[in-house]
Chain A
Amino acid sequence: MDHGHVRRRPRPHGTTVCVAPAMTAIDLTIKDLTQILRDRKSLMFILIMPIVFTLLFGFAFGGYGAPADTRLPVVVAGDTGDPAHAAFIDLVESSAVVRLVTPASTDDQALRASVRDSKVAAVVLIPSGFLRACYDGTNPLLPCVVDVASTSGTTARNELANLSARLTSAVQAARMTAAIFSDSAPTTGINESPAFTFEQFTSVFRSAAAAWKAQPSAVAITVSSKLTEQQRTAGGFAHASPSMMLQFSIAALISAAGIVVEERKSRTLARLMTTRLSRSGILLGHYCAMFTQVFAQLALLILFAAVVLRVQYLHAPVATLLVTICASAFVAALGLLIGVTSRSEEQAIAFSLILMFVLAGLGGAWVPLQYTGAVFQRVARATPGAWIVDAYENVVQRGLGVSSVLLSCSLLVACGAALFLLAALRFRRQSA
Chain B
Amino acid sequence: MQALDIALKDIRHSFTSLFGLVFMFVVPLLIVGLMTVAFGGTAASKQQAFSVPVTKVVLANLDAGDQEVDLDPSDSNPSTTAGDLLTHLLASGEMKQLMTITTVASAKAARDAVDGRTAEVAVIIPTAFTKACMEGVPGGAVEVYQDPTLTLGPDIVRAVISQFADEFASVRIMTSTATASFTAAGLTPSTDRITRAIRQFVSEATANKGASGSLKVEAPPAKQQKSANLLATILAVNMAAMMIFYVYYTGTAGAESILLEQEQGTLQRLFTTKTAPAVVMQGKMLAIVLTTILQMLVLMLFSALAFGIRWGGILPIAIALVPTALCASAFGVFLISFLKTTRQAGVVFGGVVTATGMLALASVFTMSVPSAAQLGQRIALFVPQGWSLLAFRQAMDGASLGSLLTTAAVMLVWTTVMFVVGRARMARRFA
List the interface of chain A (C-beta within 8 A of B): 41-42, 44-45, 49, 52-53, 56-57, 59-62, 67, 70-72, 109, 112-113, 115-118, 121, 124, 139, 141-152, 154-158, 160-162, 164-170, 172-174, 176-177, 179-181, 183-185, 200, 203-204, 207-208, 211-212, 215-225, 232, 236, 239, 251, 254, 258, 345-347, 349-350, 352-354, 357-358, 361, 366-368, 370-377, 379, 393, 397-398
What B residues does A70 contact at CB under 8 A?
370-371
Tell me whether B185 and A185 are in contact (CB under 8 A).
yes
Given A116-B221, A183-B189, A370-B151: A219 and B162 interface contact (C-beta under 8 Å): yes
Q: Is B265 interfacial (CB-CB < 8 Å)?
A: no
A41, A155, A218: the one contacting B162 at CB < 8 Å is: A218
The CA-CA distance from A146 to B211 in the complex, in Å, is 13
Tell me whether A176 and B198 are in contact (CB under 8 A).
yes
The CA-CA distance from A120 to B34 in the complex, in Å, is 31
The CA-CA distance from A5 to B265 in the complex, in Å, is 44
The CA-CA distance from A221 to B377 in the complex, in Å, is 31
What A residues does B374 contact at CB under 8 A?
118
Q: Is B148 interfacial (CB-CB < 8 Å)?
A: yes
Seed contacts A162-B163, A176-B178, A180-B193; 19 additional CB < 8 Å A-B pairs: A60-B376, A72-B371, A116-B220, A116-B223, A145-B219, A149-B227, A155-B370, A158-B159, A161-B211, A177-B177, A180-B189, A211-B173, A216-B137, A218-B169, A219-B143, A224-B145, A239-B149, A372-B39, A379-B37
What A residues does B362 contact at CB under 8 A?
56-57, 60
In B263-301, the 8 Å CB interface with A consists of none
A368 CB to closest chain B CB (Å) equals 8
Tell me whether B161 and A165 are in contact (CB under 8 A).
no
Interface of B is mostly: helix
The CA-CA distance from A19 to B200 in the complex, in Å, is 102
B214, B229, B366: the one contacting A141 at CB < 8 Å is: B214
Q: Is B38 interfacial (CB-CB < 8 Å)?
A: yes
Tell me whether A169 and B174 are in contact (CB under 8 A).
yes
Tell me whether A173 and B138 are in contact (CB under 8 A).
no
A9 CB to closest chain B CB (Å) equals 39
Tell me whether B149 and A44 are in contact (CB under 8 A).
no
Tell me whether A375 and B37 are in contact (CB under 8 A).
yes
Tell me whether B347 and A61 are in contact (CB under 8 A).
no
Q: Is B373 interfacial (CB-CB < 8 Å)?
A: yes
Tell me whether B193 and A222 are in contact (CB under 8 A).
no
- Total A-B residue pairs with C-beta atoms closer than 8 Å? 337
Q: Is B40 interfacial (CB-CB < 8 Å)?
A: yes
A169, A185, A251, A258: the one contacting B187 at CB < 8 Å is: A185
Q: Is B150 interfacial (CB-CB < 8 Å)?
A: yes
Q: Looking across the interface, which residue of chain A has its beta carbon closest to that of B142?
A: A219
Q: Is B372 interfacial (CB-CB < 8 Å)?
A: yes
A424 CB to closest chain B CB (Å) equals 26
B149, B170, B228: the one contacting A398 at CB < 8 Å is: B149
Tell me whether B38 and A204 are in contact (CB under 8 A).
no
Given A49-B355, A180-B197: A350 and B23 interface contact (C-beta under 8 Å): yes
Q: Looking across the interface, which residue of chain A has its beta carbon closest to that of B133?
A: A218
What B residues does A349 contact at CB under 8 A?
346, 349-350
The CA-CA distance from A87 to B358 in the complex, in Å, is 44
Given A162-B166, A169-B173, A375-B51: A177 and B178 interface contact (C-beta under 8 Å): yes
B28 CB to closest chain A CB (Å) equals 10
Given A154-B230, A216-B136, A219-B144: A172 and B204 interface contact (C-beta under 8 Å): yes
Question: In this complex, which of B148, B366, B367 has the most chain A Cβ atoms within 10 angstroms of its Cβ?
Answer: B148
Q: Is B258 interfacial (CB-CB < 8 Å)?
A: no
The CA-CA distance from A161 to B208 in the complex, in Å, is 11
B125 CB to closest chain A CB (Å) equals 11
Tell me whether B142 and A218 are in contact (CB under 8 A).
yes
The 4 lowest CB-CB distance pairs between A and B, nearest first, are A70-B371, A218-B165, A376-B38, A373-B51
A60, A161, A207, A373: the one contacting B214 at CB < 8 Å is: A161
Tell me whether B226 and A149 are in contact (CB under 8 A).
yes
The CA-CA distance from A390 to B137 in the complex, in Å, is 41
Given A53-B358, A162-B166: A357 and B31 interface contact (C-beta under 8 Å): yes
What B residues does A223 contact at CB under 8 A?
145-146, 148
A62, A173, A179, A221: the one contacting B146 at CB < 8 Å is: A221
List the interface of chain B (C-beta within 8 A of A): 19, 22-23, 27, 31, 34, 37-40, 50-54, 111, 114-115, 122, 132, 136-138, 140-154, 158-159, 161-166, 169-170, 173-174, 176-178, 180-182, 185, 187-189, 193-194, 197-198, 200-201, 204-205, 208, 210-223, 226-230, 232-233, 343-344, 346-347, 349-351, 354-355, 358-359, 361-362, 365-377, 379, 397, 399, 403
Given A70-B370, A374-B53: A148 and B349 interface contact (C-beta under 8 Å): no
Given A116-B397, A165-B213, A180-B194: A215 and B220 interface contact (C-beta under 8 Å): no
B37, B173, B350: the one contacting A353 at CB < 8 Å is: B350
The CA-CA distance from A250 to B106 in the complex, in Å, is 45
Q: Looking across the interface, which residue of chain A has its beta carbon closest to that of B256?
A: A346
A275 CB to closest chain B CB (Å) equals 26
B184 CB to closest chain A CB (Å) equals 9
What A residues does B369 contact at CB under 8 A?
60-61, 151, 367-368, 371
What A residues does B226 contact at CB under 8 A?
149
Q: Looking across the interface, which residue of chain B has its beta carbon closest to that of A208?
A: B177
What A residues does B54 contact at CB under 8 A?
374
29 A-B contacts (beta carbon < 8 Å):
A49-B355, A60-B375, A61-B369, A117-B403, A139-B208, A142-B214, A143-B215, A149-B227, A158-B211, A161-B215, A165-B213, A166-B170, A177-B181, A180-B193, A203-B181, A208-B173, A216-B138, A218-B162, A224-B148, A251-B350, A346-B349, A349-B350, A354-B27, A370-B150, A373-B39, A373-B50, A375-B51, A397-B148, A398-B148
